[in-house]
Amino acid sequence: MKLFNAKEIDDYKSHILMAGLRGGALGGMVSAGMWQFWLRKKTFITAGFVRTLTLAAPVLLFGVTNMEVASRDFEMAKNYSEASEKTALKAEGQQDDTFLGWCKTNKYKLVAGGWAASMVGSYVIVNRDKYMTKAQKIVQARVYAQGLTVIMLLATVFMSAGKQSTRQATPEQQEDSWKGDLQFVEQEQK
């Protein structure tokens, strides 16, 4: 169990807030680009919900994803044991540079990219059917893409569970770990 002091909490909040603002700004640029594309194509959508979704979804997606990545990076920087273990592995040349290692560290990007690719790929396949309307094709493509996305999410859960099970401490270590953290925080506050 990690106990945080007020300065660490403030540092964490400011770090993820700035990352969220950077991601939101990037999402705002994507929204503006989508909006301009639709205005130029003269296919302006009249439904208010779709217009709102077009403006808000990229901002929220990029903002929240960037905050999550910044939170994970902040935790890795503060967690001395994992950071020192990584630097030791780098020094020995045993860093996990495999494709599976990349997938473990970039799982959110992988799921989002996989969803987009499966959406496009499934639409291309469904678009061959000449008897369905365009709306039916979009719904069918979404259903197929949703199935593939659920499979990818389950795969990331299994990768995370595998990573967690390899780092489990013994019950004695878990029982005594809070004592050292408490002594460290008490010394910092004095």
pTM for the model = 0.50
Model pLDDT, residue 91: 54
Q: Please check the confidence at residue 156 and state whether its pLDDT lies above 50.
A: yes
Q: How many helices (H) and strands (E) does the chain have?
A: 7, 0
pLDDT tens column, 67-77: 988 888 888 88
Domain extents for the chain? 1-94, 96-190
Q: Note the maximum CA span of the chain.
A: 76
Model pLDDT, residue 24: 92
Q: Where are the alpha helices (DSSP H) in the chain?
A: 6-40, 48-78, 80-92, 99-105, 107-126, 134-166, 171-189
pLDDT tens column, 15-34: 999 999 999 999 999 999 98
pLDDT tens column, 110-142: 888 888 889 888 888 998 888 999 889 888 988
* Average pLDDT value for the chain: 78
